[in-house]
Structure 1
Amino acid sequence: MQMRNSEKGELTHTRHDVFGMDFHDFMVKEQNDTSLELASEFGISLREVKNLKKHLNRS
């Protein structure tokens, strides 16, 4: 069981994508682009953009 937890922890720390996109890239572009531009750029819905922005403000 402990081995599984370690593998899961490693996967969590090595993955940097959300919705199949680079989360850090989203953070950089979020500073200058509108929500519509972000949705178009990353191929996600406006609702998902709103949720990601909301998550960023909590971090």
Structure 2
Amino acid sequence: MRAGSKQTGTGNGHHQLIGVDFHDFIQREQQLTNYELAEEYGITLGDVKDLKKKLSRN
């Protein structure tokens, strides 16, 4: 059985989003592409997509 998005985030134990300023991320996400956001914050494209997905739920 495949792991869902919630399960994959908790299983690895290594979270790169610790140093991300979420207020700054929200402001910049409308101006920059996913690739530029990943480069700016030093995270992967998958992390950018997951973060946008989580922020859009709230």
Which TM-score applies when normalising by structure 1? Answer: 0.67
Percent identity reads 55
Unaligned runs of 5+ in 1: 1-17
Deviation >3 Å, runs of 4+: none
Tell me which structure has the larger Cα radius of gyration: 1
2:36 corresponding residue in structure 1: 37
Task: Please tell me the root mean square deviation across aligned C-alpha atoms, in Å.
Answer: 0.9
Which TM-score applies when normalising by structure 2? Answer: 0.68
In structure 2, distance between residues paired with 1:33 and 1:41? 10
Higher strand share: 1
Query: What SS is found at the alignment partner of 1:44?
Result: coil
Query: Offset at 1:21?
Result: 1.5
In structure 1, distance between residues paired with 2:47 and 2:18? 9
Query: What SS is found at the alignment partner of 2:26?
Result: helix
Aligned residues, how many?
Answer: 42
Query: What SS is found at the alignment partner of 1:49?
Result: helix
Query: Offset at 1:19?
Result: 2.6
1:50 corresponding residue in structure 2: 49
AA aligned to 1:36 is Y
AA aligned to 2:18 is F
Higher RCO, 1 vs 2 (CA within 8 Å, ≥6 residues apart)? 2
